[in-house]
Amino acid sequence: MHNLAVLISGNGSNLQAILDAVDNGDLPDARVALVVSNRKDAYGMQRAFKHGVPVVYFPKLPYTNANRPRADYDADLARIVQGFGVEWVVQAGWMHIFTDAFIRHFPNRIVNLHPALPGMFPGAHAIEEAYAAYQRGEIDHTGVMVHLVPDEAVDAGPVVAQMEIPILPEDSLEDLEKRIHAAEHTLLISALRNLITH
């Protein structure tokens, strides 16, 4: 059985996709052993509670207030995640850039989902930036990708899966976001299935 930890900071629709995939057999031999949120108001924690999955709320503020370095937060979180026997760490809307103090504990086992194509729009505003670039006539499509996180580079690790997403002239930003999130849910599950079972 492969234990996953899913790290979230918000809505958790990708977490929900993973939970549903485990339930309907689309992720054989995998289970979500732990959900971690760094945001108290992340709705994804409710999704985990409903599903009976252990949840750890682990904010960085106490470390910041105590002038403790990011590496302390990251090392402590790694120990907590290891304590749940986790093999794969899935960053699904996780708004925190890990230092090597976390990464080194899960070599080649950290997966990140990013709503842009490789090398395009790194960071927390990828969809808005793609939408604006389309309006400026700079791109005619965008995409989503799943990649490994071997180091501290942001949204730039070895790509495991990617999918192009069309942008239509009549699209509002919300239309594009909806299309992207729907694509993410399927891409993430197929990428995880390939990673875990090979």
Catalytic residue among 114, 125, 147, 181: 114
Burial class (CB in 10 A: 0-12, 13-18, 19+), 183: middle
Residues 180 and 183: their CA atoms lie apart, in Å, by 5
Q: Assess contact for 57 and 40: CB atoms under 8 A.
A: yes
Nearer to ligand GRF, 86 or 126 (CB): 126
Residue least distant from ligand GRF (Cβ): 93
Q: How far is the CB of 27 from ligand GRF (least distance, A)?
A: 16
Q: How far is the CB of 28 from ligand GRF (least distance, A)?
A: 22
Q: How far is the CB of 14 from ligand GRF (least distance, A)?
A: 3
Q: How far is the CB of 103 from ligand GRF (least distance, A)?
A: 17
Q: How far is the CB of 153 from ligand GRF (least distance, A)?
A: 15
Of 3, 14, 175, nearest in space to 89 by CA:
3
Core vs surface per residue 165-174: b (16+ CB within 10 A) or e = bebeeebeee
Nearer to ligand GRF, 86 or 145 (CB): 145
Does 114 participate in catalysis according to the annotation? yes
Nearer to ligand GRF, 13 or 162 (CB): 13
Nearer to ligand GRF, 113 or 165 (CB): 113
Nearer to ligand GRF, 86 or 92 (CB): 92
List of residues contacting ligand GRF (CB under 6 A): 8, 10-14, 44, 92-93, 113-115, 181, 184
Residues 172 and 29: their CA atoms lie apart, in Å, by 39
Pairing of strands 2-8, 55-57: unpaired
Residue type, 189: I
Residues 144 and 20: their CA atoms lie apart, in Å, by 20
Going by the DSSP 8-state scheme, the letter that residue 90 receives in this structure is E
Q: Which residues are catalytic?
A: 114
